[in-house]
Structure 1
């Protein structure tokens, strides 16, 4: 870690307007609670239902868990800071938040890739599906997703720790990330910027391309299926594709461009750190009859 004269940062937040902050507090508190409720509901439903034992739902439960954790890395501090006069965060807390954001964000990316692989095997190799996507294989794939996200977030925190801070210490954002921190570093950030873009930017862009190719192959293979089979497969793939676009669009916008900032950056970040984790379980449950039926059975039995 570099020697710093800065021991804490001040998070600027989304706005300094007192009236807008009260609105932000109410809106984001509701959104965060709904995110936790929906995602935990999906996890509990899948874990307790005997009808949702396929690998697709196994991966979906991990996606919902990652969504809940991903939102928790940023939303609570944003909500609390709207009520605080001085939105300070210590250096160590800032680095911890940065690591957590990239860890759970990376996990979400890798789990989405696993879900696309599962759909590829189910549609393109149906006779070998149970052999290829055995429980042991699924467990190993999830472990690889956790390891991959840990490597990605470790690289991010390593780069952030190379930045010396001599002041000012106001981060023009609502959470700690490498890009806004680089704006405060008292050094030439050209090399660090290239490394950050080659890490986060490459992970986001390459993953998005892999997902597009996989779903392209899936759609091409559907030409040999029956009309009913095509309809069901298209419904599932459409759901997955919506989630992919909603998540990767903002990530690619933020992490692949040169080191410049735009006023819209913070709102784009809100969308992928808070909005997408809320929308994911809604998209999957509203378009999936099996999940909805399992939820009804679970809660009817509890009542």
Structure 2
């Protein structure tokens, strides 16, 4: 009887594991979700790279896809998206572009019909958009350094180049809270071109040394203290009244922004510049 109970328990555990078979979309340009396991079936939506989903059923309907001269083999599977309990999607996808390896979704921003830029494995959100600039806030602990970025053009072009620079600002810390002097003086590095990767219109962002993070222009210490009083208030000014440098605790110089500039050359030789500014949490 005990053996029978153990077998039942194993079967239940196996079925539960099967029901929780999580995969992630690894297709660079996203994966189409269809109503039925057929290429001619209605399209439900397009699942972004890194989307988490659960495989509900294997159809055994085999399929091969040619991708950059590579043959990708697999089958149609029925899935349900797992990222949001309130807005799930159900349908069929080709599992040749699924992986069990957990992937971070890509952060993506775009400029109308010109191009979009995506970054691998980055948690961030858009703060503000205008015609030529997009301001982005990085989540705490995230970095834009040493990230693979992709430029997807929406119109014909002759050339795409990407440049990077950083901005350092001063922050005053107070055992948790901090006051950032973002509207005072800052240090701006020069724009540095990013080296293209082998894949078309893909680049890797630069990383920075500790020396780069601490660079700043020469400032008068009394002017600095007055700026703290003006921008932060009397209590903060009291904290820095004895410091002799803007890099002496509780004051610290740190990177506040890293920007990417995309120079897009049209077929008519018109150069169009667009900038994405990544705001780095300071004082942490």
Question: Greater strand percent: which structure?
Answer: 2
State TM-score, norm by structure 2: 0.24
- When normalised by structure 1's length, the TM-score is 0.23
Q: Which has the higher helix share?
A: 1
Larger radius of gyration: 2
